[in-house]
A and B are shown apart, each in its own frame.
Chain A
């Protein structure tokens, strides 16, 4: 569907050149929601603009629907762009046009006849839930409503790819949730491939199937969202994940807990099957010791549960060791140590 092969993008000329994208190789499959996460300046914004040639790659190949796009003619490029919808952080609606006018604009560009435009705009307004706003101007709408107009406008020409450039970053948490639901619905109902960039891991967790992490222009980690959440490799990825999982105790609290030298804390990570079984309870009961969950969270990721809990076991050292050993065969267990003491 979308393929980057050794793609680089350099801005500026020699001397003060900035390499925004470095040798990126990535494939986005048809029908999936693919998210790229990274801090601002990581190059994600440039990378997605290579897909519809708002930016041209300095080197490497970008392929969209089996078409190598860097060599296409201006006419082919306009056709390609009509097949790729795009929504933006700041919505970028035409302030001089009404909601109707905004959604109708791409259809006018595609020379659709008036009646068909009317029908299609009505249909889209219904889809995004703004039937009563067609005569309003963007400035009369809230942020969430504006993004809905942006989405309707991007979908007007029935594209098969939707690019989202930080589409929810300017919205409050509740509205973000609504927009993400809408994007998921678009993906499911119309089978539109979605490529999104964000700096919020929450967005990735909520709607993405696969993801990549970008840093300094490079893709440093890539894969299934569930796999990356349960087993992150790089430090940046770990930081991003802990921003949504809330599974890290603060160093101060940890120090306090460790003031009692007999306390031993373990992090137990449940993935896949293990997360739906009473493992902790079974194993501790078998060895007749108690446990207490001190901290942690269980999250839904791609319709599976993922848990990361900090647990304290009450019992003699040998029993606890046995419990840990037995648990380790089923789930991942790590002792939580207090750094700096």
Chain B
């Protein structure tokens, strides 16, 4: 079974564009949500600048409920909410919503873990200078943890490329969709190989960019 590459290349280009769009949009939305949640996690932790047992425990519970759900199940399970918010359950935008949900919680944990590694004495020094909690968060905590935070977000980005392929299987479009419908369902190995190669390239680019940025921040 041959492939008409003349009509096929434009489809690959289009699908690559969809994947990149899904990943970037998800990354932007989930970074905002995830970083906020991660910060809230950190500052409300016992002994920290805004410690609050209730906020911390509720947040912790939510994260621990959502995180273990396999993405493919979450994708299907929250379809009604996706329809409410995005207006449709098919297409690139419909895939971005569940991806954002899943990624936000993962980012929250990564942010929290990276902030814990900031020397408590540095926070204490800022407190002793009379800094407000919000000034400590944005002026001290985030800059101090920025290098590892970027690496954490890079890790998530690579995961999102994987998620996007999965989202493709339920009508999200992108390279995953293409690989499934042509490569898997029509047994066309050559299409599969091309999409896999493109996915590998995307991951390489994401990882390279992340490494470069974190190196620039850490000056090492």
Residues of A within 8 A of B (CB): 52, 54, 77-82, 84, 86, 88, 90, 92-97, 105-106, 109-110, 137, 153, 157, 163
A94 contact from B128, B135, B140, Cβ within 8 A: B140
- The residue among B119, B124, B128, B140 with the most chain A CB atoms within 10 A of its own CB is B128
Nearest CB of A to B135, in Å: 6
Query: Of all chain B residues, which has the CB nearest A89?
Result: B121
Contact digits for B154-182, partner A, Cβ 8 Å, 1 yes 0 no: 00000000000000000000000000000
B122:A109 contact, CB within 8 angstroms: no
Residues of B within 8 A of A (CB): 119, 121-122, 124-132, 135, 139-140, 143-144, 146, 217, 219
Within 8 Å CB of A157, what residues of B? 129
Within 8 Å CB of B144, what residues of A? 94-96
B129:A105 contact, CB within 8 angstroms: yes
B128:A52 contact, CB within 8 angstroms: yes
C-alpha spacing A97/B144, complex, angstroms: 9
C-alpha spacing A153/B125, complex, angstroms: 10
Query: Of all chain A residues, which has the CB nearest B147?
Result: A96
Given contacts A96-B143, A97-B143, contact A54 B129 (CB under 8 A): no
Within 8 Å CB of B139, what residues of A? 105
C-alpha spacing A78/B133, complex, angstroms: 11
Question: What number of residue pairs across chains A and B have CB atoms under 8 A from each other?
Answer: 58
Query: Of all chain A residues, which has the CB nearest B122?
Result: A92
Given contacts A96-B144, A96-B146, A97-B143, contact A106 B129 (CB under 8 A): yes
Given contacts A54-B124, A96-B144, A137-B219, contact A109 B119 (CB under 8 A): no
Could you write out 21 A-B pairs with CB less than 8 Å apart?
Answer: A54-B128, A78-B130, A78-B131, A80-B130, A81-B127, A81-B130, A82-B130, A86-B128, A88-B124, A92-B119, A92-B124, A93-B125, A94-B125, A94-B140, A94-B144, A96-B217, A109-B129, A109-B130, A137-B219, A157-B129, A163-B128
Q: Is the interface of B mostly helix, strand, loop or mixed?
A: helix
B124:A79 contact, CB within 8 angstroms: no
Within 8 Å CB of A109, what residues of B? 129-131, 135
Given contacts A96-B144, A109-B135, contact A90 B128 (CB under 8 A): no
Given contacts A88-B121, A137-B219, contact A94 B129 (CB under 8 A): no
Query: Of all chain A residues, which has the CB nearest B219?
Result: A137
C-alpha spacing A137/B124, complex, angstroms: 20
Nearest CB of B to A321, in Å: 60
Given contacts A54-B127, A137-B219, contact A90 B119 (CB under 8 A): yes
Nearest CB of B to A168, in Å: 16
Within 8 Å CB of A137, what residues of B? 219
Within 8 Å CB of B127, what residues of A? 54, 81
Nearest CB of A to B176, in Å: 38
B143:A94 contact, CB within 8 angstroms: yes
B122 contact from A81, A82, A94, A163, Cβ within 8 A: A94
Query: Of all chain B residues, which has the CB nearest A97?
Result: B143
Given contacts A52-B128, A95-B122, A105-B126, could you give 4 more A-B pairs where the C-beta distance is less than 8 Å? A81-B128, A81-B129, A90-B119, A92-B121
Within 8 Å CB of A88, what residues of B? 121, 124-125
Within 8 Å CB of B132, what residues of A? 78
Within 8 Å CB of A93, what residues of B? 122, 125
Query: Of all chain A residues, which has the CB nearest B143?
Result: A96
Within 8 Å CB of A82, what residues of B? 129-130
Within 8 Å CB of B131, what residues of A? 78, 109
C-alpha spacing A94/B219, complex, angstroms: 14
Within 8 Å CB of B121, what residues of A? 88, 90, 92
- The residue among B129, B144, B219 with the most chain A CB atoms within 10 A of its own CB is B129
C-alpha spacing A52/B126, complex, angstroms: 12
C-alpha spacing A80/B144, complex, angstroms: 26
Query: Of all chain B residues, which has the CB nearest A88?
Result: B121
Nearest CB of A to B195, in Å: 40
B219:A86 contact, CB within 8 angstroms: no
C-alpha spacing A231/B39, complex, angstroms: 54
C-alpha spacing A212/B38, complex, angstroms: 44
Within 8 Å CB of B143, what residues of A? 94, 96-97
C-alpha spacing A93/B146, complex, angstroms: 16
